Amino acid sequence: MSYHFRGRSTHDAAEYRRWRAEAEAQDVIAAANASRAEASSLRQRLQDLNRQYDNDVRGLARRQARTEQQQQQQRHLLDQVSQRQEEFERLTERRQEELASELHEAIDESETRLQEEINEARAEATRQVAAVRQEVQVVRQEMQDGFETVDMRITTVRDELQKKTTALKAEIDQERKARLAKEADRIAEATALIDWLDDRLGDLRDSDSLDLNIEVVRIQEGVRNARQKLADKDKERALPIVDNAFSDYQTAYVESERRKGVIDGVTDHVLESTARLRELIGEGAFATVFAEEGERLLAAAELLDKRADSWHASYNWHIFKNERNQTVAAANALVAAAVELQSAVPNLTRRIQERDAKIEDIANAVTDLMGAADGFEATFANPKDPKSPRLLRTRIGHATVDAYLHLDGGFDVEAYGFQSAGDCQRMQERMQRKLQHVWHVDAAETSHDNPQSATISLPHSAERWQAVSSEIGSIASVLS
């Protein structure tokens, strides 16, 4: 029996299994290294951009929110590395079970030989899993160290924010004291504080969108009550009432600045994620190899940008809270997916080039069998996707021969449109002998009704990049 894998052919089942295991292991390690590089780059960008923010309450809240979201992104990358390793190990274990079943069917004459084959395959799989586990563990440890560094930074910023919040309240209180220092009695102090609050309430003009309307109404009610007391005989009671209104103002103003900072920080993270998506899509051959995925990523980036821009424009805390987790999770997952696809580009590019180099051989084989061609058409099973099977369509008289070249090195050839069923049968026999001799293709099927159009059903290949491609569609759908 012959085996084909990524452009190579062999009659040795053990060699085929080794090729497959090595390729899958390399894919896992490449994806892990790409995630590590992305996490490292993310930490560097975070460090550089954090220096741009002022150290007021809003700036610190912005920095903290942004850092927390980027910490989530790093955590997503770290989890992705672990998940890919676990998937590889589960796949390896499943292949061992399938192999044992296949060997039982293929080896009848010797139970000893059967057990030796199974033991050898199991030992090779164990070595491969151990090697991948060791490589990935190094990557995970480095990423975990970086994650802990960011966690320490979050704690530091949280402490800074707490100190700055206390300092801001003290500054407001100092301003109050300065305003009241010139007043001689409690009535004058109350009047001055009411005037001061009237001036400062303008700083809370975004209170409705920031979901602080109740707090502002409470302050306004306190100011009105204090004014009423000043107009009544019980003027002395105006000062404690307006003092309470002042405390409410302090709390509301600090919270207003904090919420604006949080919205700004999360917006920064989302916009940076979409910028990174565009950067990844523009790197190397990404746009060529993953054209459809790139289009979906760009469409998702547009939706993310629009949502983040609307947060910043409206400062609507209620909408922001409802959309934040879903939006940030989508942004983080899309970046991680793009990083994993980018890691697969070099390998896929090489395989595409190797596959396309065989087109001429296929064309020559067809013309050897059927005579000079009236025309060749080279395209893809999916014209928008160069990773889909390469399609070489040859027209010779009434007949058409479609040759599909797969990325794993396999072939599917279909001929149809003959003038008679007899011509179809004779060509099938000649073509089968040719393909067996040259490419070890040993499965053939003849349709006795002499079809006049293509009927082939292409096999489905399940590679990791295909799963990631599907994930992109699922992630993007939640943003629509």
Average pLDDT (183-190) is 73
Q: What is the pLDDT of residues 406-460, one digit of tens each?
A: 777 777 777 777 666 676 666 666 666 666 666 555 555 555 555 555 555 545 5
| SS3 state of residue 411 | strand
Closest alpha carbon to 459 in 429, 392, 395, 414: 414
- 273 and 250 share one domain: no
Average pLDDT (255-277) is 93
Which residues does 183 contact at the CB level (< 8 Å), separation at least 6? Answer: 189, 191, 192
- 125 and 196 share one domain: no
For 141, list phi and psi in degrees, rounded to 5: -65, -40
- 9 and 105 share one domain: yes
Bridge partners (DSSP) of residue 5 are: 8
| Boundary of a domain, candidates 354, 378, 396 | 354
Which residues does 289 contact at the CB level (< 8 Å), separation at least 6? Answer: 344, 345, 348, 349, 352, 386, 387
The answer to whether residue 207 is domain-embedded is: yes
Rg (CA), the chain: 34
The answer to whether residue 71 is domain-embedded is: yes
Q: What is the pLDDT of residues 8-35, one digit of tens each?
A: 555 555 655 666 666 777 777 777 777 7
Domain region containing 43: 3-166+257-354
- Quick one: pLDDT at residue 1? 45
Average pLDDT (179-198) is 76
| SS3 state of residue 387 | coil
Q: What is the pLDDT of residues 96-125, one digit of tens each?
A: 776 666 666 655 556 666 667 667 777 777
| Boundary of a domain, candidates 235, 256, 277 | 256
Compare 364 and 250 and report the one with higher pLDDT.
250
Average pLDDT (212-239) is 88
The total domain count for the chain is 3
Give the β-pairing of 3-5 and 8-10. antiparallel
The answer to whether residue 480 is domain-embedded is: no
Cα distance between residue 334 and residue 472, in whole Å: 6
- 65 and 189 share one domain: no
Closest alpha carbon to 46 in 66, 61, 62, 65: 66
- List the structure tokens of 414: 């279909």
For residue 372, is pLDDT > 70?
Answer: no
The answer to whether residue 379 is domain-embedded is: yes
Q: How far is CA 396 from the centre of its chain?
A: 46
The answer to whether residue 477 is domain-embedded is: no
Q: Are 470 and 292 in contact (CB under 8 A)?
A: no
- 294 and 434 share one domain: no
DSSP 8-state class, residue 376: E
For residue 316, is pLDDT > 90?
Answer: yes
Average pLDDT (344-372) is 77
Number of Cα atoms under 13 Å in the Cβ half of residue 455: 12
- 180 and 265 share one domain: no
Cα distance between residue 67 and residue 269, in whole Å: 8
- 188 and 266 share one domain: no
The answer to whether residue 109 is domain-embedded is: yes
Which residues does 450 contact at the CB level (< 8 Å), separation at least 6? Answer: 416, 418, 420, 421, 424
- 162 and 237 share one domain: no
Of the chain, the percentage scoring pLDDT greater than 90 comes to 17
- 191 and 278 share one domain: no
Least confident span in 129-138, 279-288, 332-341, 470-479: 129-138
- 44 and 190 share one domain: no
Average pLDDT (261-280) is 93
DSSP 8-state class, residue 233: S
| SS3 state of residue 296 | helix
Q: Record the pTM.
A: 0.73
Compare 202 and 433 and report the one with higher pLDDT.
202
- 311 and 435 share one domain: no
- 384 and 440 share one domain: yes
The answer to whether residue 319 is domain-embedded is: yes
The answer to whether residue 472 is domain-embedded is: no
| Boundary of a domain, candidates 332, 354, 376 | 354
For residue 154, is pLDDT > 80?
Answer: no
